[in-house]
Structure 1
Amino acid sequence: MKSRKDEGGSFFDRLTAHRMVASIKEPKQIELALSLRNQLGGVFLLTGHIGVIKGYVDLFKTHQVPVFLHLDKIGGLCTDTHGLDYLAKAIKPTGIITTKTNVVKIAKKVGLISIQRFFLVDTEGLDNIAKSLLQIEPDIVEIMPARIPEVIGEIKTFTSLPIISGGLMFERSHALACLDHGATAVSSSKSELWREIYSAQEKRFCSIG
């Protein structure tokens, strides 16, 4: 069984080659994400409930696709120590996504890779990110929305953590802008964008059908 460190390293390695993460908001997107698994960095599950989520996680992990659960979007999950311990031992996702610093702390204790999501609406948001990261660092930072890619460079001045950017991403140029400004990867629920393959060498996305 892979340790948290091993799973984290595997996911980070995968992101260097596959820089699009599929955000799944409805079950019907699961089949498409699986069909494109060889070009995705992983999946973020933003749908489901405690009764079905293990089946979803097992499906992706069987196909060796890193899978993260957005705790605010999965019905019936508790985010206290007991709830996250159960999540880590019984459901076994690659990790979790949360907006809450205290949940990041618990996730680290129970061996779950943590992605902390931040929403930026003004410059005060940058200060809040810096202060939050001083309290405890997640494994990955997710910045939303993706339509302010210049801010990624600002965040990189005070953290070396991998940065994923998503939200309000409607076309390939939006994804490219984030990557050009230093994002490790991008996330999107727009399935049309999942079909694009980013080439670090060619600095472009190529459609595969």
Structure 2
Amino acid sequence: MSVGKHPAIIHHMRAIFNVRTPLPRYQSSWDVDKVLSCITGWGDNSSLSMKILVQKLTMLLALTSAGRVSEIHKLNLDFMCDKGDHIIFQIPSLTKTCRPGKTKPELKFYKFEDNNLCVVECLRKYLELTEKIRDTNDRLNRNWLLLSFVKPHHPVTTSTLARWLKSVISSAGIDTANYKAHSTRSACTSKAFRAGVSSSEIMKQARWSNLTTFSRFYYKPLAGSDFQKAVLIR
């Protein structure tokens, strides 16, 4: 009998599991509408500074893609295709959810009727604002989508993106002591589900392989494409 199949070992491991049962980080979700109202209150994209515009864009990218910070971080202009009514990014390198035999993920962002909440319009304005910065003749690779708003405007890290997301969440009056940057994933998928988006559409958008992941770790009640419309409509 192998050690792993010994009754005493099995009993001991079950006891450890019962004591330390895996639990989701969040028991509730923040209200996406509060963040959308905050963003709308900032005004038109053309009136925003680079600092505010890039933070707004980061939040809209996170909410409409249901993406991880690590996925947003990998968005690169060399792998972007503007289709007019939507923009596609191929993810150029492996992500946490990549598996052998599966194609690399792509993120699609669709136009929305409210320009202040349209991720496509915000992205295009950001590219317009950073065009001269990207053409700077130095050794920095500025083909990555999201750049620092501080000179010399280098590509940002995942920790910077997480800090920007928390800043926007905080600006909306949500306690960031309880919610980290990754909570955007739970917040947007929960809102989409409550708005009637099918489980299969949510799984496809968030790149989950089974419904258990969503129902156990991401779908939360409020604290106190069809998917993207459901997230942005208030």
TM score, norm. by length of structure 1 = 0.27
For the pair shown, which has the larger CA radius of gyration, 1 or 2? 2
Greater per-residue strand proportion = 1
Select the structure with the greater relative contact order (CA < 8 A; seq sep ≥ 6).
2
